[in-house]
């Protein structure tokens, strides 16, 4: 059961999905769900995106996949990548299915990016972590170490395996995004 708590400017409906708060943006042309706002998972679908009939971590040639052709306030229409057959979903059912892992979508943008400076921890030197949240529900992190303790110059240390799996185009977007937020936050990258 959804509580109809809708903000008049952003038109966000608050729902409970899988026992957690979900903020569902009511834009009739695209799906945007922010699930568990305190530990957010971002999901977004636009015309041209893909919907997979499985959790994002599952891969098999038997899994159906559709390209989204239409999104309205009530429904989403896709065309099978394999057969060309048309499929229609009730929008709210698809939004819920994306959150609980019945469906997955491809990464088309990073919903938000956070920079965390971590002090000395567990015998490790201070470092900076940048986390980008994809609109496919996945997080992508990269860590930088300080070059000098008295300076805000950082250098690459390591990154999450999810970053290594990014397609070339999205890897470039990720690199530019991370570099930009670090510079905006006053860091120099070496």
What pLDDT is stored for residue 3 in this prediction?
45
Confidence of residue 18 (pLDDT cuts 50, 70, 90): very high
Mean pLDDT of the chain: 91
Q: H or E stretch including 139?
A: strand 139-146
**Euclidean distance between CA atoms 135 and 174, whole angstroms:** 13
Angle at 26 between CA 72 and CA 110, to 5 degrees: 95
- Report residue 55 as tokens: 């959790």
Angle at 50 between CA 44 and CA 53, to 5 degrees: 100
35-59: pLDDT as tens digits: 998 888 999 999 999 999 987 778 7
- Report residue 169 as tokens: 């185009």
**Euclidean distance between CA atoms 70 and 77, whole angstroms:** 5
128-144: pLDDT as tens digits: 999 999 999 999 999 99
Sign of CA dihedral 14, 116, 170, 183: positive
In terms of Cα–Cα distance, which of 34, 46, 104 is closest to 77?
A: 46
What pLDDT is stored for residue 44 in this prediction?
96
What pLDDT is stored for residue 6 in this prediction?
60
What pLDDT is stored for residue 189 in this prediction?
96
What pLDDT is stored for residue 5 in this prediction?
59
70-95: pLDDT as tens digits: 999 999 999 999 999 999 999 999 99
The whole-number average pLDDT for the span 158-166 is: 96
Residue 2 pLDDT more than 50?
no
107-132: pLDDT as tens digits: 999 989 999 998 876 677 889 999 99
What pLDDT is stored for residue 178 in this prediction?
98
Domain limits, the chain: 12-105, 110-189
């Amino acid at each position: 059961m959804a509580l109809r708590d809708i903000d008049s400017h952003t038109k966000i409906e608050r729902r409970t999905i899988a026992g957690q708060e979900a903020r569902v943006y009511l834009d009739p042309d695209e799906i945007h769900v922010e699930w568990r706002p305190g530990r957010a998972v971002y999901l977004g679908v636009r015309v041209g995106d893909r919907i997979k009939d499985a959790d994002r971590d599952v891969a098999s040639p038997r899994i159906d996949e559709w390209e989204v052709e239409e999104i309205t306030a009530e429904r989403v229409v896709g065309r099978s990548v394999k057969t060309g057959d048309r499929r229609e979903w009730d929008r709210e059912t698809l939004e819920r299915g994306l959150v609980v892992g019945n469906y997955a979508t491809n990464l088309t943008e990073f919903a938000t990016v956070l920079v965390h400076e971590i002090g000395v921890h567990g015998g490790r030197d201070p470092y900076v972590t940048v986390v980008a949240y994809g609109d496919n529900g996945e997080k992508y992190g990269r860590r930088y170490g300080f070059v000098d303790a008295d300076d805000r110059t950082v250098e690459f240390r390591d990154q999450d395996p999810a970053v290594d799996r990014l397609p070339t185009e999205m890897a470039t977007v990720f690199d530019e995004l991370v570099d930009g937020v670090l510079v905006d936050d006053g860091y120099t990258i070496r």
